[in-house]
């Protein structure tokens, strides 16, 4: 790399990103597949993921049962997530805006709303887990007594730092993740060394549960769903980063990069499992109170407090930034009068308020973990509809027509019925509602139809199958306008996207 190129890249990092939700020009698409992979990995390579990894044991499974649920959750979640990265390079925008092709340019607010809820939940969890670990470790080192004001200061510092990163934008966030992935991975490996001598997996019996125990499968599937919430939570955000990949990036490589990134998240999840097994043996009261961070600090050797502080610092920034950046970006299109920076500030301030109120006024830490799972159940049908829509359109999207709503216009190929595509909406609404009704998370949330399958949670099956049946049926019964499909010329010339202006688009 020559001096001029290095100078240009440095300038991009220290300058505030000016790109909003409009398509990224090809000359600005400087990200690599490894950058794309690293952003996903960095967003999960944190204490927040380790905390999610603790739940299978907290719910009552043995270590080996918990390991099976964790591997299954990551694997299935990665398979569902992987295709969601292909939209960004084609449309040059994020997944919520891209969904306008299937839900209508106004109906795409469904994706924006889901991404907002997901971002706030994971942002909150990352700040809480990192802040608690930071203050806990510092107080142990200096023999201080913990106080609420200490946690408040830690949460505030983490939240403000994340907000600054998101305001600077994609390049700065990428730099933070480059550092975070390496450091966090080293700390996790050191952690396995620190706890290796204390780890006795056979002592975590899961309260005597076996395959024939009443409630075993309900607990096992519930634990799997909690783990799955991590990979699936990226569904609305992959386009935020993949839009910086060159348009001709092979789709198979994008899918492979996502599968590899999610496989790497097994590292923090395993750390969470191993340490929770030790907590269950040495300090079971923290399992009962669902306080993973407190238990981790109790069983950690003194010398590990410093690495834990490092992990808390970089983890809070990494997860928080990947969550908040995309939502600020997306809401600059929901409210066209706001720039990306202004929308990021608005969403960031709202999230910070929720973090403080949720932690100090209502103690919603455990409730947010449950809410994350419920959000994932409603996000999955949206993702299925997007994937089926992609296949039915053969990857053909009109970039400018997707931007109609963002520009305050009307018309275009994706205007459908006043900006709504009833096919996508009718497929999503009942699928999401019925999936929610069938949720069965023991001790957390049981829907009215949660016992439909003998107490076994079938919400994910419903979330996957119903839209896969309803949406293609609607496409068959009510064919979409020819304008949204590629012509023979488009297919022959390998032009999956055109830059045509919206047909009949009018300024209001």
Cβ neighbors of 126 (< 8 A, separation 6 or more) are 46, 47, 48, 158, 315, 316, 318, 319, 320, 323
Output DSSP code: residue 420.
Answer: B
> Phi and psi at residue 498, in whole multiples of 5°?
-115, 165
Query: For tokens 């109609």, what's the residue?
Result: 404
Longest dimension (CA), the chain: 73
Spatial contact of 216 and 209, defined as CB atoms under 8 Å apart:
yes
Spatial contact of 233 and 382, defined as CB atoms under 8 Å apart:
no
Spatial contact of 103 and 424, defined as CB atoms under 8 Å apart:
yes
CA distance 103 to 385: 9
Q: Which of 138, 465, 157, 475 is nearest to 320 (CA)?
A: 157
Mean pLDDT, consecutive 10-residue stretches, the chain (508 aa), reads: 42 69 87 92 86 88 92 94 95 92 94 86 82 89 91 90 87 85 91 89 66 79 87 88 93 96 94 93 86 89 90 80 79 76 86 85 69 85 96 93 88 94 96 93 81 83 95 96 81 50 44
Other Cβ atoms less than 10 A from the Cβ of 92: the count is 30
CA distance 54 to 483: 49
Chain-centre distance for alpha carbon 1:
33
CA distance 60 to 205: 8
Spatial contact of 376 and 232, defined as CB atoms under 8 Å apart:
yes
Question: Could you tell me the residue ranges of all domains in the chain?
Answer: 34-491
Query: For tokens 């994937």, what's the residue?
Result: 387
CATH number of 34-491: 1.10.4160.10
SS3 assignment for 72-128:
HHHHHHHHHHHHHHCHHHHHCCCHHHHCHHHHCCCCCHHHHHHHHHHHHHHHHHHHH
Q: Encoding tokens for residue 166? A: 């998101």
Half-sphere exposure of 343 (CA within 13 A, CB side): 24
């Amino acid at each position: 790399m020559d001096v001029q190129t290095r100078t240009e890249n440095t300038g991009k990092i220290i300058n505030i990103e000016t790109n909003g939700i409009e398509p990224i020009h090809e000359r600005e698409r400087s990200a690599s597949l490894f950058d794309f992979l690293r952003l996903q990995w960095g967003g999960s390579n944190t204490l927040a993921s380790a905390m999610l990894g603790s739940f299978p044991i907290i719910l009552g499974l043995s270590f080996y049962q918990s390991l099976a649920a964790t591997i299954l959750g990551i694997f299935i979640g990665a398979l569902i997530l992987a295709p969601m990265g292909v939209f960004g390079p084609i449309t040059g925008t994020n997944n919520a805006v891209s969904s306008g092709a299937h839900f209508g340019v106004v109906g795409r607010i469904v994706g924006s709303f889901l991404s907002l809820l997901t971002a706030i939940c994971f942002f909150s969890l990352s700040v809480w887990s990192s802040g608690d670990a930071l203050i806990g470790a510092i107080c142990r080192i200096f023999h201080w007594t913990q106080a609420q004001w200490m946690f408040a200061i830690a949460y505030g510092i983490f939240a403000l730092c994340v907000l600054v990163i998101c305001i600077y934008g994609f390049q700065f966030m990428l730099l933070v993740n480059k550092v975070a992935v390496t450091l966090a991975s080293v700390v996790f490996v050191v952690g396995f060394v620190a706890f290796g001598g204390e780890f006795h997996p056979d002592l975590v019996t899961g309260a005597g549960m076996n395959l024939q125990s009443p409630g075993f499968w309900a607990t096992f599937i519930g634990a799997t769903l909690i783990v799955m919430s991590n990979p699936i939570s990226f569904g609305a955000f992959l386009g935020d980063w993949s839009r910086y990949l060159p348009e001709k990036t092979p789709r198979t490589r994008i899918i492979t990069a996502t599968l590899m990134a999610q496989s790497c998240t097994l590292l923090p999840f395993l750390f969470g499992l191993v340490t929770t097994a030790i907590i269950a043996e040495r300090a079971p009261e923290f399992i009962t109170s669902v306080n993973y961070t407190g238990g981790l600090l109790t069983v950690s050797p003194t010398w590990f407090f410093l690495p834990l502080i490092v992990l808390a610092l970089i983890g809070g920034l990494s997860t928080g930034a990947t969550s908040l950046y995309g939502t600020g970006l997306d809401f600059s299109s929901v409210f066209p009068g706001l720039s990306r920076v202004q929308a990021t500030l608005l969403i960031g301030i709202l999230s910070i308020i929720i973090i403080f109120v949720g932690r100090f006024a209502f103690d919603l830490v455990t409730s947010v973990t449950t809410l994350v799972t419920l959000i994932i159940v409603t996000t999955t049908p949206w993702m299925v509809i997007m994937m089926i829509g992609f296949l039915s359109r053969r990857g053909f999207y009109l970039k400018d027509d997707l931007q109609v709503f963002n520009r305050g216009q009307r018309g275009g190929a994706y205007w459908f019925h006043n900006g709504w595509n009833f096919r996508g909406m009718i497929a999503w609404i009942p699928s999401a509602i019925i999936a929610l009704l069938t949720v069965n998370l023991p001790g957390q949330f049981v829907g009215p139809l949660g016992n439909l399958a003998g107490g076994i949670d079938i919400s994910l099956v419903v979330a996957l199958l119903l839209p896969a049946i309803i949406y293609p049926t609607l496409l068959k019964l009510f064919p979409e306008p020819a304008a949204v499909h590629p012509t023979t010329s488009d297919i022959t010339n390998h032009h999956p996207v055109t830059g045509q202006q919206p047909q009949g688009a009018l300024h209001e």
